[in-house]
Amino acid sequence: MPTTRYRCSACGNVTRFDVVATRRTRSFHHYSIGGDLEIEDEEVLDEQIERVTCRWCNASGEAIDVEGDVEAEAETTESTEAT
């Protein structure tokens, strides 16, 4: 699953954000004999990020920079370094 990174251009924060999102998922619900629920094999079918707010300075909107697919960037860097 791709990982999105955020950066607050107002204060420089790259680690703490409140993210409001709506997700549509498919998952396997496994109930124990005692009735306890364990959700397994959850697949995100659709996700809409509604708002991202910096935890440090409370900035949102245009102040939050979205950095692309961190996993893909890491794989590209690793394969480039290997050659």
**Encoded tokens for 31:** 């109930």
The secondary structure of the chain, three-state, reads: CCCEEEEECCCCCCCCEEEEEEEEEEEEEEECCCCCEEEEEEEEEEEEEEEEEECCCCCEHHHEEEEEEHHHHHHHHHHHHHC
pLDDT grade for 51, boundaries at 50, 70 and 90: very high
pLDDT (tens digit, 9 = 90+) per residue, 10-50? Answer: 999 999 999 999 999 999 999 999 999 999 999 999 999 99
